[in-house]
């Protein structure tokens, strides 16, 4: 089984679903509220676990009533949480998410214990492949990548300036269109694979500025796009670690992301390996 360590954020998501998203200064009423485990680190850990990897999550939560709820699905599905520590001085991270009827969302995050995850909290070793995102302090992410000895996937979300050596160490970098625009052509000067997601239009995979694969997602009815990008990251990492060819791996990741958009919530929506394989076979 493919071993993956995810170093990243854990949040509890409060999701309000309404007919439309509010404009600046506007109040939208009539929404329904749900609570789901989330955070990019936790989401990508669960995504990889459901897709067949053996996953360990390195993270921090607060000493509060939200922590168990935020970790509940990870625990239930066998993700190794032995390196998920409790910060006695911080709250568990929280994300406030507004979702429109068409699936688009707006997100505000109060990071809590995620923001207090410093390089000194990192483990001495990172088993297997490493997946990181940018919802932790950037020096922590840089230190985690620097000490990794295996395959490194770096999801540059949310976009932020990173040390050149951190970007150059990544075997796979994943960005969406907005993040790709933030980093510009500098991404394509890096030695690793670059995956750029285009939402419902699919994704492209690049090496040295040349597109080596492109894929479109299977047609779905989007309910909530929260977590779709995290499903893509987990799926593409697992597929490449399994030795799938770039185009096959990208199709697999696009299918996983599309399926995640058909259900509400970040973690509850993440598909299993059987679901992704069945969806690909039906196309």
The pLDDT tens digits of the residues spanning 112-143 come to 999 999 999 999 888 899 999 999 999 999 99
pLDDT (average), residues 60-69? 96
Kindly indicate whether the domain formed by 3-9+39-89+115-282 is annotated with CATH number 3.40.1190.20: yes
For the chain, what is the mean pLDDT?
Answer: 95
pLDDT score of 153:
98
- In this prediction, residue 226 carries a pLDDT of 81
Q: What is the pLDDT of residue 224?
A: 80
Phi, psi of 248 (to 5 degrees): -65, -45
The percent helix, strand, coil of the chain (3-state, each to 5) is 35, 30, 35
Q: What residues are annotated to the active site?
A: 230
Adjacency order of strands within the sheet including 3-7: 80-87, 54-62, 3-7, 129-132, 152-155, 172-176, 193-197, 203-207, 210-215
Do residues 198 and 232 lie in contact, with contact meaning Cβ atoms separated by under 8 Å?
no
Identify the CA nearest to 133 among candidates 34, 266, 272, 269.
266
Q: Distance between CA atoms of 80 and 136, rounded to whole angstroms?
A: 19
Per-residue pLDDT band for 225 (boundaries 50, 70, 90) equals confident
What's the confidence (pLDDT) of residue 242?
97
Average pLDDT over residues 196-207: 95
Mapped onto helix, strand or coil, the DSSP state of residue 215 is strand
- pLDDT surpasses 80 at 283: no
Spatial distance between the Cα atoms of 257 and 109, rounded to a whole number of angstroms: 22
Domain positions in the chain: 3-9+39-89+115-282
pTM assigned to the model: 0.93
Q: How far is CA 204 from CA 35, 126, 155, 176, 259, in A?
A: 33, 29, 15, 10, 18
pLDDT value of position 282: 84
**Is the four-CA dihedral 56, 9, 104, 223 of positive or negative sign?**
positive
């Amino acid at each position: 089984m493919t071993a993956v360590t995810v170093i990243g954020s854990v949040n509890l998501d409060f999701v309000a679903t309404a007919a439309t998203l509010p404009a600046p200064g506007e109040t939208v009423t009539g929404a329904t509220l749900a609570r789901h485990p989330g955070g990019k680190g936790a989401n990508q850990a669960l995504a990889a676990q459901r897709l067949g990897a053996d996953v360990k999550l390195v993270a921090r939560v607060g000493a509060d009533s939200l922590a168990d709820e935020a970790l509940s699905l990870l625990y239930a599905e066998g993700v190794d949480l032995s390196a998920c520590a409790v910060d006695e001085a911080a709250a568990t991270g929280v994300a406030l998410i507004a979702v429109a009827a068409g699936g688009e969302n707006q997100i505000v995050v109060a990071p809590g214990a995620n923001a207090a995850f410093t390089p000194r909290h990192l483990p001495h070793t990172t088993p297997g492949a490493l997946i990181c995102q940018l919802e932790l302090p950037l020096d922590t992410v840089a230190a985690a990548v620097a000490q990794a000895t295996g395959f490194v996937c770096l999801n540059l979300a949310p976009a932020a300036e990173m040390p050149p050596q951190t970007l150059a160490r990544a075997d796979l970098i994943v960005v969406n269109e907005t993040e790709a625009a933030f980093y510009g052509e500098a991404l394509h000067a890096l030695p690793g694979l670059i995956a750029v997601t285009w939402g419902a239009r699919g994704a492209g995979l690049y090496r040295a500025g040349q597109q080596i694969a492109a894929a479109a997602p299977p047609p779905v009815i989007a309910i909530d796009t929260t977590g779709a990008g995290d499903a893509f990251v987990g799926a593409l990492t697992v597929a490449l670690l399994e030795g799938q060819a770039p185009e096959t791996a990208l199709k697999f990741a696009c299918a996983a992301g599309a399926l995640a958009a058909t259900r509400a919530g970040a973690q509850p929506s993440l598909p299993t390996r059987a679901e992704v394989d069945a969806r690909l076979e039906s196309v």
